[in-house]
Amino acid sequence: MNLFHSTSFALQHDELDNRGVDWVIHYNFDDLDSAQAADEFRSLIHDLESAHLRTRVRHGYGSSLLVCVRVPRDHLGHMIHQSRIKDWLFGIAHEFPAGDEYTVADPETPAEALRSVYHAVSWHHHLGGAGIIPKHGRWKNVVAAFPLHDPSANAELLRKWSHALTLTAEDLDAIRALYGEKVAFYFAFIHCYSCFLIVPALGGILCWWYLGSYSITFAILNCFWGLVFVEYWKIREADLSLRWNVKGVGVLKVNRVEYVWDKEVRDSVTGEMIKVFPGHKQFLRQLWLIPFATLASLVLGSLIVVAFALEVFISEVYRGPGKGYLEFLPTVLFSLSLPFLSGILTRTASRLTDYENYRTQDQYELAQTAKTFVMHFITAFLPTMLTAFVYVPFGKRIVPLVDLSWMGDVVLDPARLRIDASRLQKEVIYLSAMAQVLSFGEEVVLPYVKRVLWQKWRDYNQQRTVTRRHRSLSVQSDQLLIDPPDEADFLARIRNESEADEYSVHDETLEMCVQFGYLALFGVAWPLVPLGFLINNWLELRGDFFKLSLECRRPPPIRTDSIGPSLQGLEVLTWMGTLSTAAIVYLYRDGTPEVHLWSFLLTILAAEWAYLAARFAVRTGLHKIVTHPMRHEAAKRYAVRKTFLGSFVRRANGSPKGKPRVRFQDHVSVYTSATDLPTREESVLHDEQDDAPAEARFWSGPSNETADAGVRMIKALCTSSDGSISQKKMGKDA
């Protein structure tokens, strides 16, 4: 883990201080002339300052400026308090934030403070913000707006994790404190998933050693494990959302700028105006997802099928000239056309999501991510599925059907056709070992190397420019562009951060879901798959944090209460995984596959029923066993209310004791409307004194009389029981 150490400790002490800068706005005027840029910049600063923000400007790389924004502490504390009041009003928090309308609150975490800064910069004017949304509308030249990293906290966390085997609850809280809940949920997810991987990893080693591949034992273990993991994660997610006070936080989010509403309605209960776009309309629009998914499946599916068929054909059937070169053809074709096709599909998906008209940015992103997931799942899983369920079992029958007469006298020999039955296993091994290493390198190491080199080159270039500038320009503008020596390191860091990539939590989550999918769908083909994934994830978790803290801009601390649509993806994958595992075991267990359609279908059907039954049992069982999150929430609410009740009763204790304050009506109308049951009115009784005569008579007499009266009756009844009613026990007492 020296990589992490060396980087974090190379930082100078001076670099560790953010100089009170809350937010940085990166303004690029490459495409504007100087007068236009000056106007636009003035109005940018005007908007910021009219939102009570302090600003400082420094130049960035190239034709760009960096505006450092600071929210005055009183204003920030006030915003934090307002935000807490809002949380409480909407039922996200249970504890009432004490204070009045002038209270200045202390942030609990850096993320809480930064969230209010984020609101101050990005919210619309009428909500009290500066309305600066990068790359949007008026501010298309604002290329980024981001908070600065906290290098010392990042270094501390990286150092701690490189020593520790596993993350603690406090580590997750620390990520939440630095980067907000959305990022923290991803790390909680990958951590929980990696811990769960230990079970199939160990089981996999045993099964691999004693039973080999395609064993039923490992198949059952793997499917059941996936099911338990997904159901447990749901509970864990709810637990974390309560721990971090973000449960149901979606309702708080402000409307998107692009949101179009049908009508404004006054809520009958709260009296607030709500901008309404009817749910059924949105649902009807969402139904367009079906043709979209069909289209995406067809386009991507046919691309994959063609590439696959070509590859098989060239490598196993074709014996003609240029085989050595032609073998690369399918891969090249596939790699060239995939970005083009998925680009078109992504644009279609965006347009569809726009059309679906979501109220908040969160909902919008979730809908868009859901569509991306579908496309990713197709490209990720379809090739291996073709190998598993088409090529190996049916290859012998399908390949000869292709009409090859047009190839004329090319040396082709279908008789020598040899279907490679181990191809599935090879692919799975590649996916679980090589592909993971490669993707880690591609994701973490390569960008790091690239970035270091690029920075070096740019610094060298900049140096040359400055030197040249000394000769060609006026002294005044030159001095303006030279950093003061005590700020130089700090400004270098801001500039680097301003050029860094955005960190996409969705992509990271998606990567983990795809990994889970490989394991659930094809893990049974090679029981060491979970071991490979476990090792990879140990690195991945730390690599992701390395990337987040050193290679990417700090993301705004966004609140959320789950990992989003991935959860549904995981559920679908456990289901598909069960069917796929059953099918693979059926087809491959006894060497060469020999398919009887009816027994194959019966296997699938049995697997599906077992899955449904197991899911019911696991869900019920886990909810019985892991009860503490829900109970904890209830207990918290109870404690808050109990405290309130205590203070309330103490305050009210001056009132006269023992006297009823609310009058008691003996009869209450069953219907609340006054028109019903008019006859009841007359019989309404108000108090003991007003009892109707019959009632008064019934209840008159001393109150201790009942026992005696009853005993007298018992005797009388026992005496009279020689009559006809009861023949038993008679005479004993008479």
Only one of the segments 147-155, 182-190, 294-302, 343-351 lies at the binding site for a copy of itself (rule: CB under 8 A); that segment is 147-155
Binding mask 21-50 for a copy of itself (x = CB under 8 A): x-----x-xxxxxxx-xx--xx--xx--x-
DSSP secondary structure letters along 375-419: HHHHHHHHHHHHIIIIIHHHHHHHGGGS--GGGTTS-B-GGG---
Q: Is 210 in the site for a copy of itself (CB under 8 A)?
A: no
Distance, in Å, from the CA atom of 221 to the CA atom of 204, rounded to the nearest integer, reads 9
Using the rule CB under 8 A, is 711 a contact of a copy of itself?
yes
Of 1, 12, 62, 209, the one binding a copy of itself by CB under 8 A: 62
70: which strand partners? 54
Give the interface segment with a copy of itself, choosing from 2-10, 60-68, 389-397, 582-590 (CB under 8 A).
60-68
x-marked contacts with a copy of itself along 153-192 as a string, rule CB under 8 A = x--xx------------x--xx--xx--------------
| Single residue of 5, 73, 124, 319 touching a copy of itself by CB under 8 A | 73
Distance CA 26, CA 554 (A): 14
* Sheet strands (E) in 197-356: 263-266, 273-276
Find tokens 């009058």 and name the residue.
663
* Tokens 């990696």 sit on residue: 194
- Tell me the C-alpha distance between 724 and 610, whole Å: 63
Q: Minimum CB separation from a copy of itself for residue 368, in Å? A: 17
Look at the chain and count its residues: 734
Q: Decide if 611 contacts 575 (C-beta within 8 A).
A: yes
Q: Which among 158, 528, 583 is positioned nearest to 387, based on CA atoms?
A: 583
Which listed residue (7, 15, 95, 110) binds a copy of itself by CB under 8 A? Answer: 110
Examine residue 681 and tell whether it contacts a copy of itself (CB under 8 A).
no
For 208, list phi and psi in degrees, rounded to 5: -65, -40
Beta carbons within 8 Å of 724's beta carbon, 6+ residues apart: none
Q: Is 689 in the site for a copy of itself (CB under 8 A)?
A: no
- Closest approach of a copy of itself to the CB of residue 517, in Å: 18
Site size toward a copy of itself, by CB under 8 A: 186
647 makes contact with a copy of itself (CB under 8 A): no
Stretch 218-257 residues interacting with a copy of itself (CB under 8 A):
251
Among 449, 488, 625, 684, binds a copy of itself (CB under 8 A): 625
One DSSP character per residue, 97-138 reads: ----TT--PPPSSHHHHHHHHHHHHHS-GGGTS----TTSGG
Among 602, 646, 647, 684, binds a copy of itself (CB under 8 A): 602
Cβ count near 384 (within 10 Å): 21
14 binds a copy of itself (CB under 8 A): yes
Question: Rule CB under 8 A: is residue 100 a binding residue for a copy of itself?
Answer: yes
Q: Does 720 bind a copy of itself (CB under 8 A)?
A: yes
Q: Is 469 in the site for a copy of itself (CB under 8 A)?
A: yes
By CB under 8 A, name the one of 106, 258, 354, 681 that touches a copy of itself. Answer: 106
Applying CB under 8 A, does 63 fall inside the site for a copy of itself?
yes
Q: Which residues partner with 134 through β-bridges?
A: none
The footprint of a copy of itself on residues 296-355 (CB under 8 A) is none
> If binding is defined by CB under 8 A, does position 82 make contact with a copy of itself?
no
Beta-bridge mates of residue 67? 25, 57
Decide whether 103 or 215 has the Cβ nearer to a copy of itself.
103
Report if residue 488 touches a copy of itself, rule: CB under 8 A. no
